[in-house]
Amino acid sequence: MKTKRKPTFVEACIPIAFLIFIISIGVLKYDADPQIPLLISTIVASFLGLRLGYKWYELESGIIQTIMPAMQAILIQMIIGVIIGNWIIAGIVPTMIYYGLQILSPGIFLPATTVICAVVSLATGSAWTTAGTVGIALLGVGQGLGIYTPLVAGAIISGSYFGDKMSPLSDSTNLAPAIAGTSLFEHINHMIKTTSVSFIISVIIYGIIGVRYAGKELNIVEIDMLLSALQDQFVITPFLLIPPVLVIVMVALKMPALPGLLGGGVLGAIFAVVFQGADLGQILDVSQYGYVSETGFVAVDNLLTRGGLQSMMFTVSLILVAMAYGGVIEKTGVLDAIGDKLVRFTRTTGSLVLTTALTCIFCNFTMADQYLAIVVPGRMFKDKYKEKHLKMKNLSRVLEDSGTLTSPLVPWSTCGAFMSATLGVYPFAYLPFAFLNLINPVVSVIYAYLGFTMDKEDGYEEGDNSKTVATDEKIEVAAK
């Protein structure tokens, strides 16, 4: 039998370099979708695994083990596709857009959008739920006010990921401290020190940009036409705001995400019948294929033609292929081999945090999933943080500052694909405007180089090696 071995650094770089090459050629040059480049990269990584002595069933097992944790995310995506379709035919999304156009002005819209999404996401613990509900409505309001759509999407994502990152209900917020070995609320309290500063800076930037729109003369005629088109096609009433409020309350009360979102979809179907006179056939069709707006008013039709289960199948296929690639390179020890080289650059606290952050971002681009971008670097660098007598909450904070927040910026990652499908804006288009997601990793690294809020283990001071000596003594006693 062929003995399995660990890949060399050069061998480990082959599937990573090939992925970067084929993604660059396929997606950037030929404007191809990323699924096939990712699939080909998976084949290349599998050949490397076979060369290293792995059997195919072992590689296949690695793929399945990696896909399984993503199944909940896949189901959530499918349900949100159904919700969007049902909430449009029910008039829920049009109602939110209608009232939003009358309340929000261009000057305050961007910072208000960021704060609204932050509050909703903090309550629900889900950036996806926020973007798929109030995010859709706010995108429509922004378009109605004449604000650049990728800029609006950036504000939605910044606010959504602030709440997702800081909420104790969020899966990534629970995962990071579990991987690092610290408590949930210690992790959240430590994140406040970097994330709150980043959020305030982001809101200020959105406010400054909003000043440019404040003096803009609104096209009242076009807005009135948009409002009239919404009123002509839907019954607009405040009662239609009940479903999104109930979904937020249900998730905030710690109801599991899947039944909470399913409840929102069912409420949408009921409200479609009661308020819009829809029949069962229309609801089934919209749930499957999405709503098609045919008002003749281009702005409304482009905005409301979306949703449905099928609208999420592109994203689901992308997630499955990306997870397959991630499963193979995880199983074959590719990332471990690269990690062994990376730890050589972690001599100071600043360089350790910088290397951790860059690894998280690298994992988002190569493994295409925020969970893996938390788990893999967390495992790689945990011992290094211990060696430097840093509390594990420092590691968990960096994992979220970089792994969670950069995930929606990668087009072929699970989060980037979802946001692109939901908001209808390509990730590279909104990337320059997702200020929180760009600023937070930088703030985290700056804190590390300054030594600010980088808490040491209790009783440890710089130059004190008593804990290390004590630990060595315990190991010697245990060995005896």
The phi-psi region of residue 154 (left if phi > 0; otherwise alpha if psi is between -120 and 50; otherwise beta) is: alpha
Taking the CA atoms of residue 270, residue 271, residue 276 and residue 279 in that order, the dihedral angle to the nearest 10 degrees is -10
Closest to 163 measured CA to CA, from 437, 431, 361, 418:
437
Residue 201: is its pLDDT beyond 90? Answer: yes
Task: List, as one string, the DSSP characters of 258-293.
Answer: HHHHHHHHHHHHHHHHHHH---HHHHHHHHHH-B--
Q: For position 86, what pLDDT does the model report?
A: 92
Query: Cβ distance 116 to 162 under 8 Å?
Result: no
3-class DSSP assignment, residue 456: strand
- CA 172 – CA 296 distance, rounded (Å): 43
Torsions phi, psi of 413, nearest 5? -85, 165
Report the sign of the C-alpha dihedral through residues 305, 308, 310, 316, in that order: positive
pLDDT digits (tens, 9 = 90+) for 148-193: 999 999 999 999 999 888 877 677 787 788 778 888 778 888 998 9
pTM for this entry: 0.70
Largest CA distance in the chain: 85
Q: What is the pLDDT of residues 17-59, one digit of tens each?
A: 898 888 778 876 787 777 888 899 999 999 999 999 999 999 9
Sign of CA dihedral 406, 408, 410, 412: positive
**CA-to-CA distance for 475 and 472, rounded, in angstroms?**
5
Residue 76 pLDDT exceeds 80: no
| Residue 386 binned pLDDT confidence (cut-offs 50, 70, 90) | confident
DSSP SS3 for 167? coil
Question: Closest Cα to residue 340, out of 380, 376, 367, 375?
Answer: 380
Model confidence over 418-441: pLDDT tens digits? Answer: 899 888 899 999 999 999 999 999
Ordered alpha helix ranges (H), 388-455:
392-398, 405-406, 414-423, 427-430, 435-450
Q: Where are the domains of the chain?
A: 9-69+314-458, 71-312
Angle between the 56-67 and 313-331 helix axes, to the nearest 10 degrees? 130
Q: What's the mean pLDDT when you consider all of the chain?
A: 83
pLDDT at residue 123, as a whole number: 59
- Calculate mean pLDDT across residues 399-419: 89
CA pseudo-torsion sign 323, 351, 461, 401: negative
9/341 Cα distance (integer angstroms): 8
